[in-house]
Amino acid sequence: MAKPSVKLWKALQELKDDEFKKFKWFLKQDDISAAQLEKADRQDTVDLMAQKYGGTGAMNETMMILEKISRNDLVQGLQNSSQDPKDLSVLKEEHERWKAELKSTHRFAVEVTLDPDTACPSTIRSGDQEQVHCGDARKLLKNPERFYRCVCLSGPRINQQEGTNPTNP
């Protein structure tokens, strides 16, 4: 798979001189030095963009500018080249692995009752004290055991080997 800078250089090679001039004008509007762009050829322009935006950012910026100068054909070509089938298969494998791993965690599931005395004031617990989400419920009484600096709360201790609550086997 070609590096983003090579793909960008190839796309800029397709621009006519007047289109390339417009392309550089849009880059000037986005805080790339006019002095640097004035005499920059296509390769130098790609280097400047890579320095400012990084590889993926330069690719995205290029596609936005190409759309502005009505070169959607080049945008389509860049989009197609960035969707390498190898990348998609790797993502699919990773997705399947995560899915299997998530499924395997269910065997370690235990019932937990959250401790309202230690809950951060930014947490909202369900009525059964088994679910929690972030929110702004600052109506809790002061408690020296309460977590105040970060969103935290505690539940009962769990026996790691057995996956059970020692007080409720």
Domains of the chain: 4-82 (1.10.533.10), 110-169 (no CATH)
The tens digit of pLDDT for each residue in 86-110 reads 555 666 777 778 777 777 776 777 7
Closest CA to 50 of 41, 62, 38, 39: 62
Total-model pTM? 0.48
SS3 162: coil
Rounded to whole angstroms, how far apart are CA atoms 159 and 94? 31
The tens digit of pLDDT for each residue in 1-51 reads 567 788 889 999 999 999 999 999 998 887 788 888 888 999 999 998 888
Question: In the chain, which ranges are E strands?
Answer: 123-125, 132-134
Give one word for 70, left, alpha or beta, with left for phi > 0 and alpha for psi -120 to 50: left
Contact between residue 98 and residue 126 where contact means Cβ atoms under 8 Å apart = no
- Quickly state the pLDDT bin for 168 (edges 50, 70, 90): very low
